[in-house]
Structure 1
Amino acid sequence: MTDAVILYDYEWQTLRALANTAFPPLHADGLLHQRACERVISMLYTGQKRALRLMLHALSFRGSAVGFTRSYKLVTEMTEEEVQQVFLGFVHSRIGSLRMFATGITSLALLVAYRVSPELRKTLGDADTHPHLLSIKAKINTKEVIWHLPKFAIPPPLSPNQPAAITTDVVIVGSGCSSMVASYLLTKKGFNVIIVEKGYHINAITSPEHDFQRDIEAFEGEHNMTSADASTIVVAGATVGGGGAVNWSCSLRPTELVRREFVQKGAPLYGSKEFDHALAEVERVMQVSTKFGLEGGSDNEHSFTNDLILKASEKLNYRAKVAGQNTGKHRANSGFVEFGSRQGEAEGGVAEWFRNSFNNGARLLQRGHVVNIRHHNGYASGVEVVVDGSKTILINCKRVVCAAGSLQTPVLLQRSGFKNSHIGKGLKLHPVTAAYGVFPEQIVNKRLDPIMTTVCTEVDNLDGEGHGPKIEALHHRPLLTSFPLPYRDAKDFQTKVESWEHLCTLLVITRDKGEGKVSFYPPNPSKPYIEYTPSKYDLGALLKGSLSAANMLYVQGAQRIFLSSTFIPDFVSNKPVSERSIWDDDYQKWYQEAKRKEFILYDTKVGSAHQMGTCRMSVNGPKHGAVDGKGHLYECPNVHVIDTSVFPAASGVNPMITCMATAYVLANNLIADLTKLQTKL
């Protein structure tokens, strides 16, 4: 058994029997299905692949399979009903590794079925060609597209043994939210900037027409990345614009409680007037507003799910509010977001920073993987970049800015030989799960409805230190709504997946107490190795948030309510909404039973779309942080870290605004350094 072979034929036959039972691909081509499965498996960490193949190997031979199946039949010889019973044994096992195996099979089956089965996508109401994409393409030569990328010319090699070399003032590694702000401020002051991005620009012209194809191109690990123990699905942007390109327009400031904690942990920046100004300036440029939609004549600026959050919270006396949107006071729609903010709403959104950067002369090198930062005796001279997987170039510069995010920045620093013990540690992920309500008579969210325009904060401070869940709306796409679904059996799971249009899915997202770490992954130098397991406290917080979400769904009339746990039964009620109270006997009986349960690993599905804290800031020296109070790397002061890596703890809200305001302050510190250097020269 080697990693070079994805699956031997007997392993594939066993996997197919299990996957087709867990979730059939609906008449997909068999070879296409196999290749898609193997592609997903090839993206796993080495340890994950070996664990999967060991289990498939064991189930492929009678002597070893009987201990798992309690049958002398192989799963390839069983009826569908018999395979289902074996699979449910894994789902409900007390052994975590067996639950992990079952969860992996279910997720693989669902993901691959969606990718290879047009019939499934049609069943889920997900058209092969996005109607909004067609409308954008029809207008592509008009002013509707707000910015274009500058051309980047790579010079020829200096000699057969010397790669091409370029000189600039500042190299920025990564093109996400912090890069946008830093490049704008630097170029505005006349400094030469080169931004290096390992992904490419997905816009209305280049975007794949299928959602799943766009996901493969726009996200780290082809939208198929997990923590090393597979407990947490991790979603991170990997395109021009980074997280800003795939953010759902929700724009929230960090709370005063969180800012005070950041200060106490050695980052006085977050308690400063300078940071207050940065927050205001970021919101001004992006036109963040809670007043959106009504100007355009819309009857309601919210989707069904967002509206439910506000109305249910009012009934229950829960704290809730409208969340700011960076869409220029226009009604935010999912089409706008899905195309990476490439079609602006009245010049709003994160792209405004880049548009001005490029107008000021910034250059962008796409498909450029920064192999390492060249440094000697505490001074960095530039970066080494591999372009398109083949050509190597050197970019010489006065300053290197690491703005590749909390997964890639620490890996680049580790790969470059920096040794500070805080590099890669302290990873925060804001774990999320979902609570569901079925509204059979309602098309819950239409395709272009806003995604996340409201937030309930009733239980977001369970410990007095700001740790606890918020309740928001999940982007209403089939795969996103399906992954956290509980797996009771194949029929129930398929019914719930196919009821997608009628599912009101509430996102439960908690500010984590637990943490993990990120390290360099030698088999794939561009892939971070993520070690993170949701803590017991954070799983408990997710349960509390899910129960509050269930209350909201109940008072608004959901016919069926279920959480992301196979150990908590569905609740069903046909009582009219006008007669409902959370104190109803049947609902309270279900609620109290659910409250006594626990969310456990590999049963409750946990994901993350926020990454923070892996190069923490501290003014107290290198024993307490990786960077100082101005963003300088302690080991090499002309290397600056300007992204969510510097957060001393989790932000507790979508980190975009906090990240960009941090970048605003740190980029101005960098400008002061460069100006001082010019004065000396």
Structure 2
Amino acid sequence: MKRESHFLLRGGRRRGSPSRSCKFSSDGFSSAEMESLGSICEALLPPLSLQSLPLNNTSHRSPDHIRVFWQSSASHFSLPHQVVEILVERALIEALILIRVILWMLATRLGTLLLCGSLCITQTWPFINNFSNISLNKREKIVQKWLKHRFLTPIRLVFLYIKVLCVWIFFSRVDENGENPAWKAIGYEVSAEEKNASNFEKERPLDKGMVEAIFETNSSLPISLSHNGLKVVKDDKLNVLRVKCDAVIVGSGCGGGVAAAVLAKSGLKVLVLEKGNYFTAMDYSSLEGPSMDELYESGGTLASVDGNVAILAGSTVGGGSAINWSASIRTPEYVLKEWAEHHGLSLFGSSGYLAAMDLVCERIGVTDKCSMEGLQNQALRKGCKNLGLQVDYVPRNSSEHHHCGFCNFGCRQGDKQGTQTTWLVDAVDHGAVILTGCKAERFVLQNNEGGKCKRKKKCLGVMAKSFSSNIKWRIQIEAKVTISAAGALLTPPLMISSGLSNKNIGKNLHLHPVLMTWGYFPDSVSDLHGKCYEGGIITSVHKVLSEDSKVRAIVETPALGPGAFSSLFPWVSGLDFKETMLKYSRIVHFITIIKDKGSGEVRKEGRVRHDLDEVDRENLKAGLKQALRILIGAGAVEVGTHRSDGQRIKCNGTSEKDVEEFLESVYVAGGPLSLEEKWTFYGSAHQMGSCRMGMSEKEGAVDENGQSWEAEGLFVCDASLLPTAVGVNPMITIQSTAYCIAKRIMESFPRE
């Protein structure tokens, strides 16, 4: 039965999906805490006098829109209440407690004196003001001191949380018409082409095998599963719905989608379990805030425990392949050699793996051509050309004419080939079933007596729960083969919560840490055309090489809507921040990505840790400096980094000596909790290695076939099994590895 599908085409919410809309309540915060929060928000984005409004480079925009933006404040529009809702829903508990303690202290005179110093003192009774009663000008100075203070790092972290959420909501929220009042002032728009329904995809190609929990009830779910060829048994006493299949796969992204196709084609009855919802090209809206809410893990607000790393991961049918930036780069030869020789994993030195990469690239339509590039990639290509540096086209899983800059919100043109339009279509065409809106809780394990392989446990399937309030069943999926393809952030917690104890589970987490540089290219002085959010997201790449020609870092371009841009760009004052946002559409960003040798861990869901080693820091520094040189070479009038002090330099009229001194001042600072006066935080869109392959249980969590060293019949088929970081976008690597593992599972499957 075909289901009606509605996404946020006009700022609404898909019918039946869990509500993430703001309740406009304080969620337990006291009125005093809310007053403190509102005062911080106002200091971040204050109402400014029109006399301070810069008039240059904004002549093509409506003066009325600019004036409204200039005089608006982040303390208006119930924005602080929306900040609180996200904090309560998504923040780590210790972070939430810290934020509330700081806000409570700022609501008292003594607490304000301790945290703000002499700036809260007045000459009239009561002589000490609480934070909200301090003048706006002094509040801004206090926030600036917090950012620099070496020994007030907890307040620095609180400020970072509030700043990120405050500006994110301000620049990404939309009304019922899908509009934001600040967009016209900053030169941003979601084009009519992006808003209109796709001409490429009028049908929902996965409907024939799709069971969506948001549309089901306690009584209809068993019927829907049965109609799709699954054996279903109801245990009313235990409130358990038992579903039987040959293979169950947790996750539908790059690993799970490929595995589902391979196993279903071999004749196995496959059930794919996905906690996210199903969307097609005509469902996507390209609206930043609503899209992040629906398509990303934690709505795009996930960060490491110490606040050092902002993490992006997909949470929808298709996983990361539905929202990635299209880059489809084969596993580098030196990485394959390292995995085969140093780690002893013959798979990666085999002709079978190379053939798998060919097959994967063909199936998802990879092309290395690009007929037209957007502003950011134009700048990268021009800067490299002017400096005599090599720049290459990036292969993409889309056509050479694909010019969509909104693919990180799902490709509305239907051109990008994620697993939801390729491998999963193959799977459902061969009888696979996809159950959405349901989350795996644990694997079902029992002692392994008389098993074929020497493993202590045997996996019998997975226990899951539905997010729908209309479904009360606990769902037990019984299968001969269980595959975890939940990604490097969720597979380890799932395995640990199931009782597995291999020391490698959750360890060795690599994130491809990213730092950014930026350059401003005014329309009036640059021959580069377009806006920063237009065109293919990544179409060009420059490799930063060492003296012995080894890759130290790569320089590419990111997707940054106004919400993400404002969240990541350093705040130094309210005036500076609003001036920067007026330049938004012509500010080009480059990302520096490294193959991190340092690593982290994730043992519990949402609690990610990661540390860089000194080599990582030096490689990031080399990449940052090269990126700045390229921006200057492309003709930027001003360039900078994302360091907390707003590190930047104006290029016009600046001597080469001053530029070189600026470049030498660039370094990789610590995170917000470091004792450094100047700090930064990183980004990550690639997570790998947290259940790595190894030739023994001492070296890895799974063997070369992807099977757990502890549980027979339990396999891992996602980025978590990669031995190290890849150094490039890992999509092709994940899919090729998944293909090889799925073929091995198929060949060894116990057939009756």
> Scaled by the length of structure 2, what TM-score is found?
0.81
The 2-side partners of 1:530 and 1:18 are apart by 28
Alignment correspondent of 2:686: 610
1:400 paired residue number: 482
Q: Does 1:549 align with 2:627?
A: yes
Could you say which residue in structure 2 is the equivalent of 1:379? 458
Number of the residue aligned with 1:496: 580
Superposition deviation, residue 130 in structure 1: 5.4
Confirm or deny: 8 A CA contact 2:519 2:637 kept in the other structure. Answer: yes
After superposition, the CA RMSD in angstroms is 2.5
Change (3 A) 1:375 1:329: same
CA contact (8 A) 2:693 2:704 kept: yes
Give the drift of 1:339: 4.9
Give yes or no for contact 2:458–2:713 (8 Å, CA) kept in 1: yes
Matched residues in 1 for 2:637 and 2:286: separation? 35
Does residue 451 (structure 1) correspond to residue 512 (structure 2)? The answer is no
Q: Which piece of structure 1 moves more, 664-673 or 307-316?
A: 307-316
Query: Which position in structure 2 is the counterpart of 1:322?
Result: 393
Q: Report the alpha carbon displacement of residue 313 of structure 1 after superposing the two structures with TM.
A: 1.6
**Cα distance 1:372–1:383, how it changes in 2: closer, same or farther (>3 A)?**
same
Conserved 8 A contact 1:288-1:329: no
| Aligned match of 1:172 | 249
Q: CA deviation at 1:108?
A: 2.1
Distance 1:565 1:639 in 2: 44
Letter in 2 for 1:10: A
Aligned to 2:312: 235
Equivalent pair of 1:616/1:646 in contact (CA under 8 Å): yes
2:171 alignment partner in structure 1: 114
Distance (whole Å) between structure 2 residues aligned to residue 211 and residue 108 of structure 1: 14
Query: Would you say the 8 A contact 1:444–1:504 is kept in 2?
Result: no
2:238 corresponds to 1:191: no
The CA deviation at 1:238 is 0.4
What secondary structure is seen at the aligned counterpart in 1 of 2:267?
coil
Write out aligned runs for 1:99-498 (5 A). 99-116=156-173, 118-127=180-189, 131-136=192-197, 139=199, 142=202, 148=207, 150-152=209-211, 153-154=224-225, 157-207=234-284, 210-263=287-340, 264-293=342-371, 301-335=372-406, 337-341=407-411, 343-345=413-415, 351-377=421-447, 378-389=457-468, 390-441=472-523, 444-445=530-531, 447-459=533-545, 468-498=552-582
Letter in 1 for 2:597: K
Percent of aligned positions that are identical = 25
2:517 match: secondary structure:
strand
Which residue number in structure 1 is paired with residue 216 of structure 2?
none
| Structure 2 residue identity aligned to 1:613 | G
> Please, which runs of 5 or more residues in structure 2 have no aligned partner?
1-25, 47-68, 119-127, 175-179, 212-223, 226-231, 448-456, 673-678
> Is the contact made by 1:437 and 1:504 (CA closer than 8 Å) also made in structure 2?
yes
Inter-CA distance 446–112: structure 2 relative to 1 (3 Å threshold): closer
Q: Equivalent of 2:659, from 566, 587, 596?
A: 587
Are the aligned partners of 2:83 and 2:162 in contact in 1 as well (CA < 8 Å)?
Answer: no
Corresponding residue SS for 1:458: strand
Cα deviation for residue 414 of structure 1 reads 0.9
Contact in 2 for aligned 1:184/1:356 (Cα 8 Å): yes
C-alpha separation in 2, matches of 1:537 and 1:88: 32
Deviations 1:576-608 (A, max 9, x none): xxxx9xx8233223223x24x542312323111
CA shift, 1:472, in A, is 0.4
Pairwise CA distance, 1:657: 0.7
Aligned 8 A contact 1:341 1:351 in 2: no
SS in 1 for 2:347: helix
CA distance in 2, matches of 1:518, 1:631: 19
Query: Matched residue of 1:325: which SS?
Result: coil
Secondary structure of the equivalent of 1:412? helix
Q: What does 1:650-669 correspond to in 2, within 5 Å?
A: 650-669=725-744
Give me the whole-angstrom Cα distance separating, in 1, the residues matched to 2:247 and 2:467.
22
| C-alpha displacement of 1:357 | 1.3
1:615 corresponds to which letter in structure 2?
C
Tell me which residue corresponds to 1:298.
Answer: none
1:81 maps to which residue? 137
Q: 2:608 aligns with which of 498, 520, 530?
A: 530
Q: Kindly tell me the number of residue pairs found equivalent between the two proteins.
A: 646
Q: Is the 1:644–1:659 Cα contact (8 Å) retained in structure 2?
A: yes
SS at the partner of 2:544? coil
Provide the C-alpha distance between the structure 2 equivalents of 1:347 and 1:209, rounded to a whole number of angstroms.
17
Q: Could you tell me whether the CA contact under 8 Å between 1:627 and 1:641 is conserved in 2? A: yes
> How many Å apart are 1:194 and its aligned residue?
0.4
- CA, structure 1 residues 598+183, in 2 after alignment: closer, same or farther (shift >3 Å)? closer
**Amino acid in the other structure paired with 2:431:** G
One of 624, 644, 647 as aligned partner of 2:699 = 624
What displacement does 1:307 show?
2.1
- The 1:229/1:464 distance shift into structure 2, 3 A limit, reads farther
Cα displacement (A) at 1:147: 5.4
* TM-superposition CA deviations, 1:152-209 (whole Å, max 9, x none): 3145733343422221100000010111111111111111100000010122444456
Tell me the distance in 2 between the aligned counterparts of 1:608 and 1:348: 20
Task: Report what 1:37 is aligned to.
Answer: 83
- Offset of 1:354 from its aligned partner? 1.4
Q: Which 4+ stretches in 1 moved above 6 angstroms?
A: 346-350, 462-465
Residue 184 of structure 1: SS of its match in structure 2?
Answer: helix
Distance 2:418 2:317 in 1: 17
> Do residues 16 (structure 1) and 100 (structure 2) align?
no
SS at match of 2:197: helix
Output the amino acid matched with 1:380.
C
CA contact (8 A) 2:284 2:412 kept: no
Counterpart selection for 1:92 from 122, 139, 148: 148
Asked whether the equivalents of residues 328 and 347 of structure 1 are also in contact (C-alpha less than 8 Å), the reply is no
Which whole-Å CA distance do the structure 2 matches of 1:633 and 1:172 have between them? 15
Cα separation, 2, equivalents of 1:529 and 1:273: 38
- TM-score, normalized by length of structure 1? 0.89
Query: 1:296: which partner in 2?
Result: none
In 2 relative to 1, CA 83–636 (structure 1 residues): closer, same or farther, beyond 3 Å?
same
Mapped to 2, the partners of 1:194 and 1:607 lie a distance apart of 33
